[in-house]
């Protein structure tokens, strides 16, 4: 059906406010009165003009109507000249009154049974909705079913028969125009996500194996990776390269026999793998996946696995079963899975299912009615709207229950609102309080009040949610966005005091007023992630004049600071063997050659891998490195009186948290040897500039220690 040819425009902007726009070339934009009636209705109700605003090419009339219009019915607006136009749904959808009237707390989506399937869609502004079925996945076999409107603007239809593996979409008639959209709640999709797919999830069930006890967020050691990066290298020893099944393979080795893939992650001592997005995303043609690359931050379908990691993306069951197999394999290794989720935006707003089903509702708009762009990709998801919030919470709970993931990393979490994030935390806690929730708490320019944003500045309102600590990152290595800026680990004394603070969980140990977080469980400590340059590539710029060996020491020192700080340590995959992306700072769609984990590089830098593995074991063995409360850090941690630039901290009276009563950590970023005095006691070395292990390496005979250039030390005493 063609869209109506409008001479002028009328919009429902509030429940009882209609905005009418009359162009100047239509009777000079003048009309002394307006009327409204239902389509084919005989009764005309007068509108009261409460304001008239001349614009450049038209006149704007703000009108009020007595009584209440029925959203979902078609209305016509008439002027004094006998002209008419259809009443379109305008800004009313972004009002609290609309949310209150149409919030629906039930289930939505597709519900399969072998003899029938129920479809439910929330589309309160639609006047008609149809279900389109494609039995054989082609348009020549289309079948249409009219859907019935029920409570809260939810449309239903039950189709008898076995619809397994049918594809489907919805046709929604809004503002006198048909729009087609896939189901936002789709659990699987067709090739390239064109249609939703009907599947029987009962056929995909996997039993989750028992996992090691996980008491608190600071017990985590997170390892971020991309499914394709982890597996694609020619010498990875992995058969199913670039796929879910490849990431699930065990006992894979490089040419020299050193472990690769999941087995490497297990050997390293990681507790949580964070996978970059694996829900369905745009950016890779699933018919030829090897010709393109994408990180996955272009979300299409939030509840369906992406097909580019599947061995058979045309089969709607394959992507589900293979993703579950990957997660199960990770779990068998005693490792938990964190899912990277991207609820802050969609790939292209205008083409998204959300916009086609309820135009204008799911996205934020600025004061001029234009879509906001705090994300920088063209749209901001309106998490504060009740059905937007419901979708995010429903989606998180779907992945938690159906795929049994163990955590969520929220991309650009600062776009979302505090109430949504806390509702997610509460919902997750009802299933498993040990689930990690971490996010990018940047303060982004999106049109919700500053005190409502789920960002670091509001961390006191987000007690169960951790933030990526950019202060830690930039203090230790220097500015991420200025490659020539050197941080503390690279010899810059200007970061000395800041380094002490971030080592103590950013709670303001010596200067409470400088505290970034109320609790160390809120601080994700990192110096490298998939974003921006790798640490090694930054060093190639800011330490270009230094030898390769010196840069390796600086790199190791920065990583050691991550692993020995209070808070939650986060490593980027390959960081342990000096990962490089050949200077590329934004490799979201670069080639495999740039993005792949180079397993030959692991073999070459095996000594560094072994050293960091030792530090991980030290951290995991002694609870004094993993305090979950500010009070415990203040009680047990203090900085030693050492000469700048060396930092030394003492963990005292910590025998209840491990085998040792006292632990000392020293960091020396200087290019020269430094002498430090030791507190009274018999000190043993767990880690020095060469090795790291939970078993003492040697006993110190003096009350002083010579720290070699650019190193970290861990000492213990009974």
Catalytic residues: 411, 440
**C-alpha span between 513 and 180 (Å, rounded):** 54
Query: What are the DSSP E strand ranges found in 435-586?
Result: 436-439, 466-468, 523-525, 568-572
- CB-CB contact of 649 with 673 (8 Å): no
Residue 299, SS3 per DSSP = strand
CA dihedral sign, ordered 562, 563, 564, 566: positive
**C-alpha span between 390 and 102 (Å, rounded):** 12
**C-alpha span between 146 and 59 (Å, rounded):** 39
Q: Which residues contact 607 (CB under 8 A, 6 or more apart)?
A: none
Length of the chain: 718
- CB-CB contact of 175 with 89 (8 Å): yes
Residue 83, SS3 per DSSP = coil
Helix ranges (H only) for 184-275 are 227-231, 244-248, 261-268
**C-alpha span between 702 and 454 (Å, rounded):** 51
* Residue 116 DSSP symbol: E
Helix ranges (H only) for 441-534 are 470-477, 496-503
- CB-CB contact of 89 with 174 (8 Å): yes
- CB-CB contact of 601 with 559 (8 Å): no
Query: What are the DSSP E strand ranges found in 198-314?
Result: 222-225, 272-275, 279-281, 299-305
CA dihedral sign, ordered 637, 643, 644, 647: negative
CA-CA distances (angstroms) from residue 370 to 326, 367, 377, 447, 614? 42, 7, 14, 11, 53
Per 3-state DSSP, the chain is made up of helix, strand and coil in percentages (nearest 5) of: 30, 25, 45
Q: Which of 608, 699, 704 is nearest to 648 (CA)?
A: 704
* Residue 224 DSSP symbol: E
């Amino acid at each position: 059906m063609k869209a109506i040819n409008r001479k002028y425009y009328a919009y429902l902007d509030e429940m009882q406010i209609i905005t009418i726009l009359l162009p100047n070339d239509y009777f000079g934009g003048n009309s002394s009165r307006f009327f409204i009636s239902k389509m084919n209705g005989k009764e005309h109700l007068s509108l009261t003009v409460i304001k008239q605003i001349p614009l450049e090419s038209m006149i704007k009339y703000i009108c009020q109507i007595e009584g209440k219009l029925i959203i979902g019915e078609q209305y016509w607006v008439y002027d004094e000249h006998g002209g008419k136009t259809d009443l379109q749904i305008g800004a009313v959808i972004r009002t609290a009154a609309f949310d209150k009237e149409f919030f629906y707390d039930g289930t939505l989506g597709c519900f399969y049974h072998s003899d029938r399937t129920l479809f439910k869609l929330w589309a309160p502004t639609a006047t008609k909705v149809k279900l389109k079925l494609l039995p054989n996945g082609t348009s020549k076999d289309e079948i249409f079913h009219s859907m019935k409107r029920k409570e809260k603007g939810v449309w239903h239809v039950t189709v008898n028969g076995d619809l397994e593996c049918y594809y489907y979409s919805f046709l929604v008639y809004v503002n006198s125009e048909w729009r087609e959209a896939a189901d936002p709640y789709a659990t699987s999709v067709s090739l390239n996500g064109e249609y939703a797919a009907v599947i029987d999830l009962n056929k995909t069930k996997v039993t989750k194996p028992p996992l090691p006890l996980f008491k608190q967020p600071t017990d985590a050691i997170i390892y971020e990776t991309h499914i394709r990066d982890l597996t694609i290298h020619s010498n990875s020893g992995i058969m199913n390269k670039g796929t879910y099944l490849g990431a699930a393979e065990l006992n894979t080795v490089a040419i020299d026999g050193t472990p690769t893939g999941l087995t490497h992650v297990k050997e390293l001592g990681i507790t949580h793998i964070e996978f970059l997005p694996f829900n369905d995303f745009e950016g890779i043609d699933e018919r030829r996946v090897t010709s393109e690359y994408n990180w996955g931050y272009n979300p299409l379908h939030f509840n369906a696995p992406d097909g580019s990691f599947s061995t058979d993306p045309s089969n709607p069951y394959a992507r589900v079963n293979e993703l579950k197999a990957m997660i199960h394999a990770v779990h068998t290794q005693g490792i938990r899975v964190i899912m990277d989720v991207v609820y802050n935006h969609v790939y292209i707003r205008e083409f998204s299912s959300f916009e086609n089903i309820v135009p204008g509702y799911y996205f934020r708009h600025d004061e001029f009615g234009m879509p906001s762009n705090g994300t920088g990709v063209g749209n901001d998801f309106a998490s504060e709207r009740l059905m937007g919030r419901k979708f995010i919470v429903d989606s998180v709970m779907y992945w938690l229950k159906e795929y049994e993931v163990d955590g969520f990393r929220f991309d650009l979490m600062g776009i979302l609102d505090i109430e949504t994030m806390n509702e997610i935390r509460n919902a997750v806690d009802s299933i498993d309080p040990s689930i990690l929730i971490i996010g990018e708490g940047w303060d982004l320019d999106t049109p919700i009040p500053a005190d409502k944003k789920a960002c670091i500045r509001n961390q006191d309102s987000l007690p169960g949610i951790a933030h990526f600590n950019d202060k830690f990152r930039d203090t230790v290595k220097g500015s991420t966005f200025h490659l020539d800026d050197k941080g503390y680990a690279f010899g810059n004394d200007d970061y000395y005091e800041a380094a002490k603070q971030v080592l103590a969980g950013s709670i303001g140990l010596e200067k409470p007023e400088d505290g970034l977080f109320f609790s160390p469980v809120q601080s994700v400590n990192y110096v490298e992630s998939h974003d921006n340059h790798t640490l090694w590539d930054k060093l190639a710029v800011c330490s270009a004049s230094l030898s390769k060996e010196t840069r390796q020491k600086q790199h190791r020192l920065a990583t050691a600071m991550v692993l020995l700080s209070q808070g939650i340590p986060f490593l980027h995959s390959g960081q342990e063997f000096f990962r490089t992306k050949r200077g590329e700072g934004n490799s979201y769609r670069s080639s495999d050659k740039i993005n792949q984990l180079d397993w030959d590089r692991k073999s070459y830098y095996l000594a560094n891998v072994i050293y960091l593995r030792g530090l991980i074991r030290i951290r995991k063995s002694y609870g004094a490195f993993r305090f979950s409360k500010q009070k415990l850090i203040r009680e047990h941690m203090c900085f030693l009186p050492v000469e700048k630039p060396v930092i030394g901290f003492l963990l005292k009276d910590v025998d209840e948290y491990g085998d040792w009563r006292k632990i000392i950590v020293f960091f020396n970023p200087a290019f020269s040897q430094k002498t430090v005095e030791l507190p009274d006691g018999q000190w043993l070395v767990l880690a020095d500039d060469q090795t790291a292990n939970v078993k003492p390496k040697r006993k110190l005979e003096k009350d002083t220690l010579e720290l070699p250039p650019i190193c970290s030390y861990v000492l213990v005493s009974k």
